[in-house]
Amino acid sequence: MLNINSIDSRKGRRYYMGLTVSNIVKKYGDKTVVDNLSFEMNEPGVFALLGTNGAGKTTSIRIILGMLAAEDGEVTWDGKKFLAADKPIGYLAEERGLYPKYKIIDQLVYFCTLRGMNKEGAVKALDYWFERLNVSEYKTKRAEQLSKGNQQKIQLIAALAPNPDLIVLDEPLSGLDPVNAELFKSVIREQIKQNKYIIMSSHQMATIEEFCKDIVILNHGRTVLQGNLNEIKKGYGRVKLTVKTEGDVRSMAHECGLIISEDTPNGMSFNVQSEEQAHKLLKMIMDNKIPLIKYELREPTLNEIFIEKAGGADEKD
């Protein structure tokens, strides 16, 4: 299982190694769909692989998992060539991967045996996950009889039942209502506590911010932003201002050099060139005794950063 027990003889401490993706390239004819992608996961946790449709995310995942061959680059685990067949891996694909006419339990036992589990161990693990995800009543049903959300649960069970070292989640919350989305999140939190390595790809940026420390954003196959998410946001500074008042402050904002970027029932938003602009507007609001409901000066959200860095690519991945 996971290599977390290696000892640094000089310091007597345990250390992690993990997954390294080095300069992978994938081409289809003259088109380069993944262009020198590199990143490291040198400790357990969640890593985000992001991009618009057509940016190269799914292709990159398939190369990492050995489902596609790359023209160049390599993927290693603990410094050795990574072969998916040699290591327990859980893959929740965005596309449905169940056989519609077969019973769920029969499919999942079969999938588990392909991952090296014996039948008895597979049934025991599956029983736990059926109960954990509240789908025990569906184990003898055919996949075509299940809703989209319950099929997503079954596919998550298929990914997690073999107790994999590396888990790849491609749009894990797709098609889920808020209750089941929170259930999935609770399972992801459990896997993090168990020191699993997780690669997550999602268009739900709030979910990425909730779980991921490090990110890569792809645009047309190329890395346009990479690093620790907190450090990236700090690098932008507090450049977003949202104000909600009981009076009209548009003329005051204009006087402060602020241009409205968004006007919603939740308030007016501005792109701030300097914090002094924001402080000046606040002082004017207070001096004019306009009731203030909300005043928030903040770093950009990942969603705002993503739109800036990855906007414009909308081809099919």
pLDDT tens digit at each of 317 positions of the chain: 344 444 443 344 445 578 999 999 999 999 999 999 999 999 999 999 999 998 999 999 999 999 999 999 999 998 899 887 777 799 999 887 889 999 999 999 999 998 889 999 999 999 999 999 999 999 999 999 999 999 999 999 999 999 999 999 999 998 899 999 999 999 999 999 999 999 999 999 999 999 999 999 999 999 999 999 999 999 999 999 999 999 999 999 999 999 999 999 999 999 999 999 999 999 999 999 999 999 999 999 999 999 999 875 444 44
Residue 224, classed as helix, strand or coil, is strand
In this structure, the strands spanning 45-51 and 214-219 are: parallel
Q: How confident is the model at residue 79, as a pLDDT?
A: 87
The pair of structure tokens assigned to 79 is: 């410094």
**Domain spans in the chain, listed from the N-terminal domain onward:** 18-233, 238-298
Domain 18-233 matches domain 238-298 at the CATH topology level? no
Q: How confident is the model at residue 72, as a pLDDT?
A: 95
Burial label for 201, CB within 10 Å (0-12, 13-18, 19+), is: buried
How many helices and strands, by DSSP H and E, does the chain display? 10, 16
Q: How confident is the model at residue 142, as a pLDDT?
A: 94
CATH class of the structural domain 238-298: alpha beta
Architecture of domain 18-233: 3-Layer(aba) Sandwich (3.40)
Q: How confident is the model at residue 116, as a pLDDT?
A: 87
pTM for the model stands at 0.86
Q: How confident is the model at residue 7, as a pLDDT?
A: 42
Q: Where are the beta strands (DSSP E) in the chain?
A: 6-8, 13-15, 19-28, 31-41, 45-51, 72-77, 80-81, 89-92, 166-170, 197-201, 214-219, 222-228, 240-245, 260-264, 267-271, 292-298
Q: How confident is the model at residue 88, as a pLDDT?
A: 78
Q: How confident is the model at residue 312, as a pLDDT?
A: 53
Q: How confident is the model at residue 314, as a pLDDT?
A: 44
Which positions ≥6 away from 95 have C-beta within 8 Å? none
